[in-house]
Amino acid sequence: MKLSGFVFGALLIALCAFVNVPTHAEGSETKIPYGEGHRYIEFRNDNDFWIPYGTDRYYTNGLFAKVIYPGEGPWWPGFMDDVLAVGGGCGKEGEGCAYKSRGFGINQFIFTPRDIAATDFQPADHPYAGYLSVSALYHADMIDTGGCTQFGDCVLNEFEAQLGVIGEASLAKKTQIWWHTQVLHIERPNGWEHQLKNDVGGLLRMKRAWPVRQDIAGLTLELAPYAEAAAGNLAVYGQGGAQVKLTTDANDEPGRGAWARSKPISWQVFAGASAKAVALNHFITGNTRTTENTLSIKNFVGEVEVGGALRFGFVRTSLTIVARSKEFPGQDLGHLYGIARLGFVY
């Protein structure tokens, strides 16, 4: 009944056990003038539970925990500099990314059809699916000392490698049934017998943003266009978009290489929009145990977001509302859910 809770709790304890692992050795050539020595741990939940009128279907829940360390350190592979610098991400010479961080995380995704009360297989709706994974995270930022006043002055690079399991081994069935019946005391999901079969899944993802900033009345207005691409047996897509942010401190983004904490309290509000070209989404098209699933995907998906974040001392919290367009033919509605984060800087 509570197996999934115990398992995920054990994984979080294991994650926290690495908090005191040493970072880069003294005298390292890695430059970390901002927030030197800081570490960041964050817990995140994606769910319609966090907002009114959310849609409890499709991508119905996401659980994430990550720890980020400053600098290169012992877990920074030698080839990562070349990966993050590809395409000029670290300047013309590839040596402009002086601000780096790296870390790892544990993730669980849960997907369901609209009607979770039904026990029969629903070939025309999103299949039941779960994914439990670990990930390695790397950041390398190029920040111009004169400020990010023009496009290209600053570049934020992010790379993630995921490896995990799909199907019953992901514990998604146990997690959702326990959460619905033992915590929220709401409708029990009855169709998990038709979830995607057990399989190994992997994904490589890279994101690059070009923030441009302007100081306004003691605040900073930032416009950050970005591009993202991912490839693996779980998903293949390319995405482009932009985010606009109003903040008291543009560099107060814990976990990034160029993190700076110049004030005891900081806040930000933001909004963004993106378009995604999708070639593969295994969680929609993957075969079920019944091998009856022939669901296809929409190749273009749009998304908008709005939210805010507050850091008080060493604690940071944020809430984002996400609206996503339809992802497969026959889908009755788009998807609306919230992303809640709680992080600690130390």
Q: How many CB atoms lie within 10 A of CB 265?
A: 11
Which pLDDT band, with edges at 50, 70 and 90, does 37 fall under?
low
Which pLDDT band, with edges at 50, 70 and 90, does 261 fall under?
low
Q: Do 166 and 198 contact (CB within 8 A), yes or no?
A: yes
Q: Where are the domains of the chain?
A: 3-345
Q: What is the mean pLDDT of residues 4-19?
A: 41
Return d(Cα 80, Cα 89) in angstroms, integer: 12
Instruction: Provide the token pair at 1.
Output: 């009944």
Lowest-confidence range among 121-130, 199-208, 316-325? Answer: 121-130
Q: What is the pLDDT of residues 213-252, one digit of tens each?
A: 999 999 999 999 999 999 999 999 999 999 999 999 888 8
What secondary structure letter does DSSP report for 57?
S
Q: What is the pLDDT of residues 95-149, one digit of tens each?
A: 788 888 999 999 999 999 999 999 998 888 999 999 999 999 999 998 887 788 9
- Sorted by sequence, the CB contacts under 8 Å of residue 309 that are 6+ apart come out as 267, 268, 270, 316, 317, 318, 319, 341
Q: Higher confidence at residue 272 or residue 55?
A: 272
Kindly write down the DSSP assignment for every residue of 217-281, as one continuous string: TTEEEEEEEEEEEEEESSEEEEEEEEEEEEES-TT--TTSTT----SSEEEEEEEEEEEEEEEEE
Cα distance between the two ends of the chain = 35
Q: Phi and psi at residue 261, in whole multiples of 5°? A: -120, 90
With a cut of 60, say whether residue 306 has pLDDT above it: yes
Q: Phi and psi at residue 178, in whole multiples of 5°? A: -65, -45
Q: How many CB atoms lie within 10 A of CB 313?
A: 10
40-56 per-residue burial string, b: 16 or more CB within 10 A, e: under 16: bbbebebbbeebeebbb
Which pLDDT band, with edges at 50, 70 and 90, does 302 fall under?
very high
Output the average pLDDT for the chain: 85
Q: What is the pLDDT of residues 49-94, one digit of tens each?
A: 888 876 678 999 999 999 999 888 777 888 898 898 888 888 766 6
Note the pLDDT of residue 284. 93
Instruction: Provide the token pair at 180.
Output: 């619905």
User: How big is the CA angle at 198 (ends 4 and 5), to the nearest 5 degrees?
Assistant: 5
Q: What is the mean pLDDT of residues 183-203?
A: 91
Note the pLDDT of residue 129. 94
DSSP β-bridge partners for residue 40: 68, 345
Query: What is the value of pTM for the model shown?
Result: 0.85
Q: May I ask the CATH class of domain 3-345? A: mainly beta
DSSP β-bridge partners for residue 45: 63, 340
